Structure 1
């Protein structure tokens, strides 16, 4: 029988505290205006914080943005005043419209500042005086469409405006997100409104907060869940090309009713997973029930319902691929068979996480508990992610807490023998623990960085999303929680994701991976200001 294990206190790994670099949200616009001669120069502010328990420190500086006196195609960024006199800010080489900041006096090594290359700001939903909070979103795998879910239960579907194949020309130097702004029709005639039923007095997708959105692998079907206890399935076909940007702006955007309504949970549905090509889905809820649904029938698979220890905040399904590898929640298997197996990782309300084994449908398909951790001293688990992995090396698990601490665990390869014992040994001790502040972790997603390094994109309630670079212990022969120096991993800041004005960020998404993706790896974020931002990680 699986046992509860002290994955938070046996052989404790120290919590690493990383600094925070914040910058004026409009700094890229200032640089653009100086470069184009709109203004001769202007100051921007940069603040750095170190919230280490031993000694909290901060530094605040002003940087003057001005054209170089000799090379008029170059912008100089000169530290002007403040207590960070050794602060340096320069352009990042090899990545358009990104910058590097360092501050030796606060022990801050060079850190990237990534600016959004594109923003989706629906005027109706992102008015600064009355913004509508985006609680979740999803980007189609083919990058054709974007769907956003809101605090009020609304769900919208937008066409994604493609980026140019190259942004390196001089006409786009020091560009801002406005340089690639989607056409106005994106938010009018080309916006589709998802509704649960045409007969509703106030047509919306859900009656309460939208908690999860996912595209099926086809990129033409959407799965949504909500705090109203329901799960909905919607068609997501692109609008006809005949609907051009020249159509009247006051023309009502199309309303798309649900084709399936899945009812069974008795509390808020918190998370969903699409299995394989989408013949089956799984849902979790604060009612502590984990349910599997037959999509074609629109009903539960009775023999697959299982109860978790307590209510589930988030979950991720890792499918065991045919070659023994893992395909994560966002990388559905391309196999044509519906016989699936893998592991389900659940972040629970009491601060613990639980792992279930999902067996092929030819066996007893009820999920079986493999492992449950003890409760985190840092509050409820609010985010969870599993890394992609090779066929025989396993992967990594990341869990985020309401107290701002993130734990990283090594996951062994999926196997049929002694599954529970292997997981217990691996998940009983975190190999990395880190934080930046006490702000709650809202979402996490693994990302592949240059040279096959592993990163983690992190969304927080302080509105300062960032990408961590993870350096794991490499010696697998000893206990990663033994405390020996060569088993203590290190975390650094790969990049700060700028552009927001400290509004809480609720969700992140990562698209593309590895050198075969010529357009680079994209990171998307969304939050309480109602804006979805698109970044190029490299």
Structure 2
């Protein structure tokens, strides 16, 4: 039985400040430290909607006596202090934020040319074996060996770019790949499930010796009538795969038999899916989040989560909190375990609601340590500190005018990809 909708107005989102920094500043500091240049400037900016922005240049040079330290000098109200090889503390006035640069950048030269980059629209990470699957806007699916994070050899390492080529590649879809998932197949191997704007879901086997065969789908599901936007493997059965699309439908597929096992109508077009072992949450275009219990064959909860179409959703490991982001740039966290308590409308209590630049939210994910990672079309990914003390915990240094299109978070490890055709790994 679906709970009643909460029709009460959502609280106004809190506006948070944004810290931006020259995306290749680690290279500048590395050049200064190694003596390649005597000094160089980097820029640092702080802005908040409705308030005056702060833009500053910091001069990087070696310390006069301690030649193992790079000094950053500039405005008396703006500073940048090194915490470790990848973390810096940016301060302006009485406000501060941690700035984290990537600890690994995975770049395929064929896709990451700065003049003509290939947009990575979806990717997936496998830890056993260590593989990365990427999907491009032109429908290309590629598999790469996941490289280890290099150990920095200096206090000021340059951006750690790992140049690589695909183990295997192929044209999986006729147009944009919108979602990717690694799954185990019946023979004990692996498959890559892919969804696309061509209305299709494909299953592509990953061979033991990946490089011996080109990637080619062996099964396809084509019942959706609009672009497929999301995939969610289901914990209760290793062969169960749920898909959501802009036709407002959820479809359950048995990847072993290649048959459709069920179909449901969502309340609106589906923007994203996430499964927590109990229910599957769908982010919908009407601003609602809807929970489906596939074993019970239907929706079990629905609540208003935003004023605009939802484009991203995640649930914490306990299943208690859901975070959702929308096309208006607003992100909110809800306590779904107390839905309906103290509210005749049956809504989920809003624990926090905020926004920064207004760009479309492309991904949200809970991380360890009561943190939430957010990335979007503005290309300014960041981390929220959620709990007793709420606020921006860190800003992740991304590309140069490059949107975030995909996200994978595992504990303190964060992977992001986007319009520049590279993957970046961060350590929170």
TM range (shorter): over 0.9
- Determine if the alignment matches structure 1 residue 2 to structure 2 residue 8: no
Alignment counterpart, residue 323 of structure 2, candidates 386, 392, 398: 398
Aligned residue in 1 for 2:350: 430
Q: Conserved in 1, the CA contact under 8 Å of 2:7 and 2:345?
A: no
Alignment counterpart, residue 103 of structure 1, candidates 92, 101, 104: 92
Aligned residue in 2 for 1:336: none
Q: Conserved in 1, the CA contact under 8 Å of 2:141 and 2:215?
A: no
CA shift at 1:428, angstroms?
A: 3.0
CA distance in 2, matches of 1:19, 1:65: 25
CA distance in 1, matches of 2:344, 2:98: 37
Larger fraction in strand: 2
* Pair 222,26 (structure 1): closer, same or farther in 2 beyond 3 Å: same
What are the superposed Cα offsets for residues 371-402 of structure 1, whole Å, 9 maximum, x if unpaired? 2224732x11011001112xxxx421001011
CA distance in 2, matches of 1:68, 1:193: 49
Alignment counterpart, residue 173 of structure 2, candidates 206, 209, 212: 206
CA distance in 1, matches of 2:343, 2:406: 28
**Aligned counterparts, 1:43-442, within 5 A:** 43-51=41-49, 55-80=50-75, 85-92=76-83, 95-104=84-93, 107-108=94-95, 110-142=96-128, 144-164=130-150, 166-167=151-152, 171-178=153-160, 181-182=161-162, 184=163, 186-187=164-165, 190-194=166-170, 204-216=171-183, 220-237=190-207, 239=209, 254-276=213-235, 278-301=238-261, 304-319=262-277, 342-359=278-295, 365-366=296-297, 368-374=298-304, 376-377=306-307, 379-389=308-318, 394-412=319-337, 427-442=347-362
CA distance in 1, matches of 2:422, 2:24: 15
Aligned residue in 2 for 1:249: none
CA distance in 2, matches of 1:470, 1:219: 38
Alignment counterpart, residue 448 of structure 1, candidates 358, 368, 375: 368
Q: The residue matched to 1:65 in structure 2 has which SS?
A: strand
- Determine if the alignment matches structure 1 residue 510 to structure 2 residue 395: no
Which of structures 1 and 2 has the bigger CA Rg?
Answer: 1
RMSD over equivalenced CA pairs, Å: 2.4
Q: Conserved in 2, the CA contact under 8 Å of 1:233 and 1:260?
A: yes
How many residues get paired? 424
Q: TM-score, normalised by structure 1?
A: 0.74
* Pair 376,297 (structure 1): closer, same or farther in 2 beyond 3 Å: same
CA distance in 1, matches of 2:264, 2:342: 22
Q: The residue matched to 2:30 in structure 1 has which SS?
A: helix
Unmatched 5+ stretches in structure 2: none
CA distance in 2, matches of 1:113, 1:238: 40
* Pair 421,317 (structure 1): closer, same or farther in 2 beyond 3 Å: farther
Q: TM-score, normalised by structure 2?
A: 0.92
Unmatched 5+ stretches in structure 1: 195-203, 244-252, 320-341, 360-364, 414-418, 473-489, 514-520
Q: Conserved in 1, the CA contact under 8 Å of 2:59 and 2:73?
A: yes
Alignment counterpart, residue 531 of structure 1, candidates 412, 422, 425: 422
